[in-house]
């Protein structure tokens, strides 16, 4: 039964940002550990992506994030923003 719970929790992590960090505790996806610097920070995957992509505003920037990862996250962010803008135009 524990295996079913683990699979269920893993399925909650569908955001592409999770491949660059992991939850400190599978039962609490609000606290992430970053693959590149090992920092632990609360705020979930949205805050994690902002930290890794060096987005101004809510968080500081990770200085150890590889450039290709930063570019990938910015691309995903822009695609999501464009999709949201097009949905609101309808």
- What H or E segment, with its residue span, contains residue 9? helix 2-11
The number of angstroms, rounded, from the C-alpha of 44 to the middle of its chain's C-alpha atoms is 7
pTM of the model: 0.79
CA angle 8, 40, 65 (to 5 degrees): 95
Render pLDDT for 6-56 as a digit per residue (tens, 0 to 9): 544 555 789 999 999 999 998 999 999 999 999 999 999 999 999 999 999
* Residue 27: both structure tokens together: 């039962």
Question: In the chain, pLDDT over 90 holds for what percent of residues?
Answer: 68
């Amino acid at each position: 039964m524990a295996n079913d719970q683990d699979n269920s929790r893993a399925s909650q992590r569908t955001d592409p940002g999770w491949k660059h960090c992991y939850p400190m505790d599978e039962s609490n996806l609000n606290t992430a550990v970053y693959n590149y610097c090992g920092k632990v920070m609360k705020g979930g995957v949205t805050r994690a992506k902002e930290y890794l992509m060096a987005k101004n505003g809510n968080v500081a920037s990770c200085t150890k994030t590889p450039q290709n990862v930063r570019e990938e996250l910015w691309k995903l962010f822009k695609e999501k923003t464009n999709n949201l803008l097009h949905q609101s135009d309808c």
